[in-house]
Every structure is written in structure tokens, then in C-alpha cells.
């Protein structure tokens, strides 16, 4: 290449050395982070086995009643205990076979009485006077038997329900309204002759009546109005009527 070639190579070497980037200073490397040893946590074995019936069973709890004190009838007031006992005895008396049979026989006689009177009326309308009279007389016989049976049943239940009543108390449970009025009037007259200040009539709340409607109590309240005798229900027992006699 000659002298020109040597000059060109010299120029190239000069520019090449001046354009080279300066050497970078080495930055010390960060020390490697020490790896923490892994901690073996205890595993819940129930998540790694098949569930059994014991796992699904609901924990047993004490029953609700255990949080309260046991019920004790002796803790009730004496009057309430006596009232409950009398009510139980009244129910026993009203389900007595003898009493139930008397009422059933009386009901049957009443049905026969009504049937005879209805047939007597029909016979009379058809101009059969003799037959109408005969049927009417038969109806009267059934009526007297019905009244006799009901009177016997009323006397029995009244006697049984008043065996253990306190002085000045009269229990009218199990009686029909007319019977209750009759026995109440008799009891009032006896109490007035004794000079009692009041009489307590146990009339019930009608819980065992048809439709759970009291029948004896309103009838006796009306009776007391006619007799001008103040009568009020016991504030602690709606089924007890207190009649003031003076």
C-alpha cells in the first residue's frame, strides 16, 4: 500500500483509541441473602383423612330446662294448690261412670220426648186428635223420666264436689244452669239464716263447656242482680263468685 497505506492505518488507530469508552469502575456485589430454613407447621390430620360420623355429630348441649329451677307445686300459694286439686277432683267426678250414665239416659229421654211432641203436633194438624193426645202423653212420660235422671245426676255431682269444701263455699261444677241456680239459691238462703256476711260460689270458667263459654257464671250474676246482692269475681280466680249477703 506504500506510505499512504501506513498513514491511513496510523490515523485509524488514533481515532480508535480516542473513541473507546472509559473503563467502568467495578461496583462491589451485594452479599447473597441467606435463605431462612422452612418451618414445618403441624398439619390438621382431619383435613387429610376421610370424615367420620364423629366429625359430623353436633356437640351435645345441656337442655333448656337445666338452666331453670325445677317446678315445685309446693311453691305455689296454698289457695292455688287447693284450687288445682279441686279442679282435678271435679274432672274425676264428671267422668264417673254412674254420673255419665245418668246424663246419657236423661239425654236419650229428652230426645224421645221431643220426638213424641213433634209427632203429636203433626197428628193434630192432620185431624188425628186421639193419636195426638196419646203421643203427647208419651212425651210427658219421657219428660218426667228425663227430669228425674237429671235431678239424680245433679244431686250426685253436687254432693261429691262439695265433700271437702270450706264453710261458706259452694261448688257448682258439673251442674246444668237451672240446677246451679236452684242449688245457689238454697245455699244463699242457708247462709243468710246463719248470718254469714258472704258466700263463695265456685262456678268455673267454662273451659269444659261447649264452645268454652261460661254459662253458670252469667246466669248467677243475673240472679244476684234480681236479688239485689252484690257479686264480684275473685280477683285471683275468675271462676269464683263472691256474693255479699249484708
Return averaged pLDDT per consecutive 10 residues of the chain, 246 residues in all: 64 58 53 58 53 55 43 47 67 92 97 97 95 96 97 96 91 95 96 94 72 81 94 89 92
Residue-wise pLDDT tens digits, 23-41: 555 555 555 565 555 555 5
Of 93, 98, 97, 143, nearest to 116 by C-alpha is: 143
pLDDT for 237? 86
Handedness of CA 179, 185, 186, 191 (dihedral sign): positive
Of 179, 122, 119, 118, nearest to 146 by C-alpha is: 179
pLDDT for 176? 95
pLDDT for 204? 85
Residue-wise pLDDT tens digits, 93-125: 899 999 999 999 999 999 999 999 999 999 999
pLDDT for 242? 95
pLDDT for 76? 43
Quote the pTM value.
0.62
Please state whether 211 falls in left (phi above 0), alpha (psi between -120 and 50) or beta: left
pLDDT for 41? 55
Amino acid at each position: 500500500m506504500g506510505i499512504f497505506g501506513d498513514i491511513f492505518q496510523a490515523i485509524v488507530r488514533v481515532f480508535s483509541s480516542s473513541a473507546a469508552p472509559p473503563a467502568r469502575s467495578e461496583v462491589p456485589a451485594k452479599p447473597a441473602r441467606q435463605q431462612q430454613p422452612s418451618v414445618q407447621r403441624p398439619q390438621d390430620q382431619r383435613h387429610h383423612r376421610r370424615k367420620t360420623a364423629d366429625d359430623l355429630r353436633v356437640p351435645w348441649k345441656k337442655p333448656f330446662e337445666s338452666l331453670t329451677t325445677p317446678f315445685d307445686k309446693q311453691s305455689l300459694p296454698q289457695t292455688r294448690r287447693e284450687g288445682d286439686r279441686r279442679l282435678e277432683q271435679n274432672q274425676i267426678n264428671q267422668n264417673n261412670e254412674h254420673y255419665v250414665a245418668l246424663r246419657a239416659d236423661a239425654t236419650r229421654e229428652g230426645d224421645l220426648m221431643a220426638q213424641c211432641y213433634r209427632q203429636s203436633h203433626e197428628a193434630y194438624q192432620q185431624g188425628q186428635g186421639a193419636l195426638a193426645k196419646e203421643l203427647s202423653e208419651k212425651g210427658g212420660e219421657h219428660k218426667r223420666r228425663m227430669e228425674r235422671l237429671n235431678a239424680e245426676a245433679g244431686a250426685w255431682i253436687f254432693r261429691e264436689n262439695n265433700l271437702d269444701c270450706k264453710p261458706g263455699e259452694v261448688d257448682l261444677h258439673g251442674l246444668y244452669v237451672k240446677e246451679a241456680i236452684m242449688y245457689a239459691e238454697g245455699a244463699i238462703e242457708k247462709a243468710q239464716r246463719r248470718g254469714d256476711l258472704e258466700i263463695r260460689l265456685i262456678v268455673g270458667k267454662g273451659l269444659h263447656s261447649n264452645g268454652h263459654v261460661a254459662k253458670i257464671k252469667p246466669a248467677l250474676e243475673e240472679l244476684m242482680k234480681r236479688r239485689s246482692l252484690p257479686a264480684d269475681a275473685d280477683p285471683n280466680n275468675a271462676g269464683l263468685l263472691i256474693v255479699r249477703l249484708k
